[in-house]
Amino acid sequence: MNSGVKIGVISSGRGENLRYIIEETRSGYLPAEVRIVLTDQEDAGAVEIAKEYGVNYQFFDPIGLGREEYDQKLIDKLDSEFVELVILTGYMRVLSRSFIMHYPGKILNIHPALLPSFRGLNAFQQALDYGVRWSGTTIHIVDEQVDHGPVIYQVPVPVKENDTHQSLKTRIQKAEYRAYPKAIKMFIERRFRIEGRKVIFDSKKED
């Protein structure tokens, strides 16, 4: 039997992060349960992964709906599942203010770069074009600006001279699969306070 913090995952894409999060709830590493997977893409890989693991899922078609109207549908579904923590995995729509206010400080996002570098779309190509030696991944609390809120955890990943978009993406995403469950665990289990942009964890507890 699963138990613990009730998670709702929202994804537009492949859902590989979802797979690792579900695995870590089932292994006992994460004291949490993925109650529902929501997607704005009917053919999202995340749906296949939800099916594979027997997790409830629902596709909500955004066509013809305003942002607030669409997000209210998500809220209604998440609330009906008593979701306490919202996890974004490759969710490509910008959340409305009312959604963010409905789950204050309870929405996490993963971005494939070391924020504040390379916010927005195509972070891999942005890193390659800039010529950085390191990029990585960031897990942060969602606020009203895109890829912006207080940072929970980051993992640096080297950029190699012969990297292509695909090779860098593969290396960063491999790091993400370990980083996201770890950040979720820190968020759920460790005492912390937020001061301005900073998430300050109780240092007595191990990662």
Q: How far is the CB of 192 from ligand GAR (least distance, A)?
A: 22
**E strand residue ranges, 12-62:** 32-39, 57-59
Q: Which of 25, 89, 96, 135 touches ligand GAR (CB under 6 A)? A: 89
The answer to whether the beta carbons of residues 38 and 115 sit under 8 Å apart is: no
What is the Cα–Cα distance from 205 to 207, expressed in whole angstroms? 7
Query: In Å, what is the CA distance from 30 to each residue of 2, 75, 103, 175, 197?
Result: 10, 24, 20, 18, 25
Q: How far is the CB of 11 from ligand GAR (least distance, A)?
A: 5
Backbone φ and ψ of 80, nearest 5°: -65, -20
90 binds ligand GAR (CB under 6 A): yes
Angle, in degrees to the nearest 10, between helices 45-53 and 16-26? 20
Site string for ligand GAR, 2-41 (x = CB under 6 A): ---------x-xxxxxx-----------------------
Amino acid in the structure at residue 10: I
Maximal CA-CA distance, the chain: 50
Q: Which is nearer to ligand GAR, 71 or 147 (CB)?
A: 147
Q: Is 165 a catalytic residue?
A: no
127 binds ligand GAR (CB under 6 A): no
Which of 35, 121, 140, 49 has the alpha carbon at shortest distance from 79?
A: 35
Q: How far is the CB of 183 from ligand GAR (least distance, A)?
A: 12
Q: Residues 91 to 120: which contact ligand GAR by CB under 6 A?
A: 110-112
Q: Which is nearer to ligand GAR, 83 or 115 (CB)?
A: 115
Q: Give the pair of three-digit tokens for residue 91.
A: 């969710």
Q: Which is nearer to ligand GAR, 90 or 181 (CB)?
A: 90
Helix, coil or strand: residue 156: strand
The residue nearest ligand GAR at its CB is: 90
Catalytic residue among 111, 140, 148, 165: 111
135 binds ligand GAR (CB under 6 A): no
Positions annotated as catalytic residues are: 111
Using CB under 6 A, list all residues that contact ligand GAR.
Answer: 11, 13-18, 89-90, 110-112, 147, 173, 176
